[in-house]
């Protein structure tokens, strides 16, 4: 597939000439009105490079390329103009973050070389980002799976808490929901240092030994130290570090932060994790919420308001028995899925996605699994 190029110039003859020179190597779109070019941008099919004239009615080239940078940041931007004074060149580079500044008339070989360099720059930027995203996702998935394998109770807890964290983040209207999802996936990483049975003791309301208490208070910092080693995850590591910190400043880490100064991700984890723990001890969501109200000062008031609203949502989950063919995304496994030989294949509390359902079909063909499954079905899934 040819790289996509955008040409913007208010002179039809110039556009036609540029298109003729580039169309053999690229998929070329042309626009004579900058504002119209911005309206027609398709985020799913970004341009590798954009070449814009400087002097155009309504919006000059610098303004256009600046807007283009906001809407399509990976697109490499070039300026082509007959107004080749130094001031314009400096403004174009500084204000529009222009890759190259070309002057009219531009020789064909010079144009082709600069556009080729621009496309190469786009490919380098996008390839680096894709590689980083895949590496990051793979690292997060690996650490989450290791946590679940070593400490199954922690793995089950992660699956439950992710839904609560996502709910809070959506209520707060955060755009970077992936950060909070990763924080939920990795928040139990530090529990690998806990003696066997510690989480089970907490879930049943038992008392921990002094050694267990010390390790429990340390586990968020251990996770923070490990997660901060991954690229771009420093802020997520800070969320994880404050998962035991009370809104009133109590808990760990024992610093001076309290209330709004505590990272919002840490405050969300605190409410989500404590609610999950309360749900393991209490028979219904309402009683779990009431048990948290006894120490209401430890929680962000706004998040507790959202939590109270979530109780009605959670109460609308119904337990059903369905076949493999009836599984659909959004359902939550209410029991472990094991092979006919007794091997654990998929843990309970996992929210099903298309990929996970496809994996279960594969297990059915390769190793054999039960014909029916007990699932939680939200009201919106039927």
DSSP state of 380: T
- Domains in the chain: how many in total? 3
pLDDT in tens, 204-220: 888 888 888 999 999 99
Pair (295, 323) in one structural domain = no
Q: How far apart are CA 188 and CA 289, in angstroms?
A: 22
Nearby residues of 241 by Cβ (< 8 Å), 6 or more positions away: 220, 221, 223, 224, 253, 266
pLDDT in tens, 188-201: 888 888 888 888 88
Contact call for residues 289 and 307 (beta carbons, < 8 A): yes
Asked if residue 186 is part of any domain, the answer here is yes
Q: Is the dihedral of CA 185, 303, 270, 164 positive or negative?
A: negative
Final residue belonging to a domain, choices 283, 300, 315: 315
For range 232-238, the mean pLDDT: 87
Pair (44, 115) in one structural domain = yes
Asked if residue 137 is part of any domain, the answer here is no
DSSP state of 324: G
* Domain containing residue 281: CATH number: 1.10.3210.10
Pair (232, 307) in one structural domain = yes
pLDDT of residue 381: 43
pLDDT of residue 86: 57
Pair (160, 309) in one structural domain = yes
269 by Cβ neighbours in 10 Å (0-12 / 13-18 / 19+) ranks as buried
pLDDT in tens, 48-90: 999 988 888 888 888 888 888 888 888 999 988 776 555 666 6
CA-CA-CA-CA torsion for 151, 136, 72, 26, nearest 10 degrees? -130
Final residue belonging to a domain, choices 315, 335, 357: 315
CA-CA-CA-CA torsion for 175, 180, 185, 187, nearest 10 degrees? 170
Contact call for residues 162 and 351 (beta carbons, < 8 A): yes
Q: What is the mean pLDDT of the chain?
A: 84
Nearby residues of 292 by Cβ (< 8 Å), 6 or more positions away: 274, 275, 278, 299, 304, 307
Pair (162, 45) in one structural domain = no
What percent of the chain stands above pLDDT 90? 15
Asked if residue 135 is part of any domain, the answer here is no
Query: Is pLDDT at 340 greater than 50 in this prediction?
Result: yes
Pair (270, 189) in one structural domain = yes
Instruction: Give, in degrees to the nearest 5, the angle at Cα 331 between 330 and 337.
Output: 130
Pair (117, 223) in one structural domain = no
Asked if residue 378 is part of any domain, the answer here is yes
Tell whether pTM > 0.85: no
DSSP state of 134: H
Asked if residue 111 is part of any domain, the answer here is yes
pLDDT of residue 382: 41
- Strands (E) located in the chain: 4-8, 27-31, 49-52, 76-81, 100-103, 318-323, 332-333, 337-338, 344-346, 372-377
Q: How far is CA 367 from the centre of its chain?
A: 33
What's the domain range around 30? 4-127
* Domain containing residue 363: CATH number: 3.90.105
Pair (236, 287) in one structural domain = yes
pLDDT of residue 246: 93
Pair (159, 308) in one structural domain = yes
Asked if residue 134 is part of any domain, the answer here is no
Contact call for residues 338 and 302 (beta carbons, < 8 A): no
Final residue belonging to a domain, choices 258, 286, 315: 315
Asked if residue 142 is part of any domain, the answer here is no
Contact call for residues 15 and 7 (beta carbons, < 8 A): yes
Pair (99, 191) in one structural domain = no
Pair (156, 246) in one structural domain = yes
Q: Is the peptide bond before 194 cis (omega within 30 degrees of 0)?
A: no
Asked if residue 328 is part of any domain, the answer here is yes
Pair (162, 301) in one structural domain = yes
For range 111-126, the mean pLDDT: 88
């Amino acid at each position: 597939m040819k790289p996509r190029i955008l040409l913007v110039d208010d002179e039809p003859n110039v556009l036609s000439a540029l298109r003729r020179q580039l169309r053999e190597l690229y998929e070329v779109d042309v626009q004579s009105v900058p504002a119209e070019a911005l309206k027609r941008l398709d985020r799913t099919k970004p341009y590798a490079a954009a070449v814009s004239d400087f002097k155009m009615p309504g919006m000059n080239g610098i303004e256009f390329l600046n807007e283009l940078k906001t809407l399509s940041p990976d697109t490499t931007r070039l300026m082509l103009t007959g107004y080749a004074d130094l001031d314009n060149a400096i403004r174009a580079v500084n204000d529009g973050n222009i890759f190259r500044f070309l002057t009219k008339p531009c020789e064909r070989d010079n144009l082709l070389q600069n556009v080729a360099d621009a496309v190469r720059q786009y490919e380098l930027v996008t390839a680096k980002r894709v590689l980083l995203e895949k590496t990051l996702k793979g690292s997060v998935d690996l650490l989450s799976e290791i946590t679940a394998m070593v400490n199954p109770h922690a793995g089950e807890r992660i699956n439950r808490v992710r839904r609560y964290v996502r709910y809070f983040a959506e209520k707060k209207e955060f755009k970077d929901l992936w950060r909070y999802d990763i924080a939920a996936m990795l928040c139990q990483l530090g529990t690998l240092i806990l003696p066997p049975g510690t989480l089970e003791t907490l879930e049943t309301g038992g008392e921990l030994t002094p050694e267990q208490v010390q390790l429990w208070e340390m586990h968020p910092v251990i996770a923070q130290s490990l997660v901060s080693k991954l690229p771009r995850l420093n802020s997520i590591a800070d969320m994880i570090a404050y998962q035991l910190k009370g809104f009133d400043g109590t808990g760990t880490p024992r610093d001076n932060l309290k209330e709004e100064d505590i990272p919002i991700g840490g405050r969300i984890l605190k409410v989500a994790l404590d609610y999950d723990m309360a749900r393991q001890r209490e028979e219904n969501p309402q009683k779990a919420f009431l048990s948290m109200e006894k120490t209401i000062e430890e929680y962000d008031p706004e998040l507790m308001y959202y939590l109270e609203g979530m109780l009605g949502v959670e109460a609308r989950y119904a337990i059903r028995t369905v076949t493999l063919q009836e599984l659909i995304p959004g359902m939550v496994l209410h029991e472990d899925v094991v092979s006919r030989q007794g091997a654990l294949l998929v843990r309970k509390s996992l929210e099903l996605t298309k990929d996970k359902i496809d994996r279960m079909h594969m297990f059915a063909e390769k190793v054999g699994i039960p014909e029916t499954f007990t699932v939680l079905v939200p009201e919106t899934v039927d």
